[in-house]
A = this chain, B = another copy of it.
Amino acid sequence: MKKNLGPVNGLYPSLTTIVGTVVNGKPNFLAIAHVGIFNHGTPQYLSFGINKAHYSNQGIIEHKEFSVNIPSEALVVETDYVGLVSGKNTDKSAVFELHYGSLAHAPLIVACPVVMECRLHSTLDFTSHDVFVGEIVATHVAPEVLTAEGKIDFTLVKPLLFDMQGVRYLALGPEVGKCWNVGKTMKKAGGRP
């Protein structure tokens, strides 16, 4: 018999990202572990809701551009740090070495093996939160985390998986099975496991 915890968010772990913006002329970074995927296809949209009190929001609203960077385990301290302090009173522009793609206001983190440049598509007003919907313009990937076929190998990325219930970052584990594959025997058996 399950226990009813009330309307708590049980959607963990979630991928930890660092969103990069330019605010008041300087790069700024915020750890966000709640970036959602809106669709499959082109354009590819993502979204994240952040409290309107955050410093990053004004940079996104002003420039309509931002980056989404995927830190590896090796960056756990820096990632946690940019989630602990606000750009309102702390200059975070020198925390990471940066590079840029085609968007001038989407600072990309050199040390993150996967980084995405995004253009703002729309902003949804969710009372306390701005929900930003962005279009991925380009994804830049370190060659050492690419497979021979040019796909991203996330076991090599070693992302930080956020667990809000345990207030911790968790590692990624090994493969359990192949998608759209391990269920095929059940399909052949007419839905019996």
A contacts, CB < 8 Å to B: 1-15, 17, 34-49, 51, 68, 70, 73, 76-85, 90-92, 94-95, 99, 101, 114-116, 124, 126, 128-129, 131, 135-143, 146-147, 150-155, 159-187, 191, 193
- Complex-state Cα separation, A41 to B128, whole angstroms: 9
Are B129 and A153 neighbours in the complex by a CB distance under 8 Å?
no
Chain B nearest Cβ from A93, distance in angstroms:
10
- Complex-state Cα separation, A101 to B140, whole angstroms: 44
- Complex-state Cα separation, A17 to B2, whole angstroms: 18
Can you name 12 A-B pairs with beta carbons within 8 Å? A7-B136, A9-B37, A10-B136, A11-B17, A12-B15, A45-B49, A83-B179, A83-B180, A154-B165, A162-B179, A171-B172, A172-B172
- Complex-state Cα separation, A174 to B150, whole angstroms: 28
Chain B nearest Cβ from A69, distance in angstroms:
10
With both beta carbons as reference points, the residue of chain B lying nearest to A163 in the complex is identified as B154
Are A152 and B41 neighbours in the complex by a CB distance under 8 Å?
no
Chain A at the B interface: SS class: mixed
Query: CB-CB < 8 A to A5: which residues of B?
Result: 138-141, 150, 152
- Complex-state Cα separation, A69 to B128, whole angstroms: 27
Chain B nearest Cβ from A158, distance in angstroms:
9
Are A193 and B14 neighbours in the complex by a CB distance under 8 Å?
no
5 further A-B contacts with Cβ under 8 Å, apart from A11-B68, A80-B180, A155-B170, are A3-B150, A8-B152, A10-B139, A14-B14, A81-B187
Residue with the greatest number of chain B CB neighbours at <10 A, chosen from A14, A76, A161, A193: A161
